Amino acid sequence: MKDSASLDFNTGIDIVYSAADDSYTLTDRNGSHVPFTPADIVPSDPGIGGVKYRIDVPNNVFSHTDFTRFVPKVNGVPLSYTLMGIWHQDYGQVIDVMVGGVPTQAGNLPTSGSAIYQAAVVSGAALTSGAGNSPVISYDLGSGGSTATFSADFGPGTVQTTIGLRGMDSKGATNDLGTLTGDGTISATAPTFAGTLSQAGGSGAFSGAFLGPQAAEMGYGFYFESADFTAIGLVAGKKK
């Protein structure tokens, strides 16, 4: 996860939809852009669903780029206002996770009171360091039993979150990578929030937005780096 960064909502990745050919063109912050068309659709990953596109690099069976857009589910129920995306470039060497949908409108975001959200890690991956003689192992956070909590205090404009990282490797073995604790602030001018994540020996960040009327839903992307592992993923939630 070289050059990891947490970018504000509506920045970083530009997605343009063309109704003429039902295609999506993605452009990252470095100017790289890729068009995905219906001809590029492949079976989506189990547990995520949605629509997945894949483009193979000519004459290189080991390199491709893929993009998945999906409606996140919390406890098996699809959210109503939130969309998410995952973009792998250069055979997964560059990973962008994205939050979109119907953001809470200006003037409709609560300015007082608090809310607790039923939250879930809807997708994510962790990579152990492979220090010493240990092999590098990749873990799927979405199917490994990861957990999340999220709350907002709209008066002072703060948010709090935890992410319990539980990963599953390719052989079905699970690993508990501990719990990340996050604190952040709500923007004074937009229905967005951002903050930092911490755990002994590491650090990270998260950023996202409130979506739907009266901040009915929320979603954010996160990354975390330590000497033992790196992690990236998406968390979504619905107000209780």
pLDDT in tens, the chain (240 residues): 445 666 566 667 888 999 999 999 998 877 778 899 999 999 998 888 999 999 987 655 557 889 999 999 999 999 999 999 999 886 556 788 999 999 999 899 999 999 999 999 999 999 998 766 677 889 999 888 999 999 999 999 999 999 999 999 989 999 999 999 999 999 999 999 999 999 998 999 999 999 999 999 999 999 999 999 999 999 999 999
Given a contact cutoff of 8 angstroms between Cβ atoms, the answer to whether 189 and 195 are in contact is no
Distance of CA 86 to the CA centre of its chain: 7
> What CATH number should be reported for the domain whose range is 14-239?
2.40.160.90
Q: Are strands 64-70 and 51-56 parallel, antiparallel or unpaired?
A: antiparallel
- 139: tokens are 């873990």
**Domain spans of the chain, in order of start:** 14-239
Which of 58, 57, 51 lies closest to 37, judged by CA?
Answer: 51
Looking at residue 43, its pLDDT comes to 94
pLDDT in tens, 207-237: 999 999 999 999 999 999 999 999 999 999 9
Question: What are φ and ψ of residue 38, in 5° steps?
Answer: -55, -30
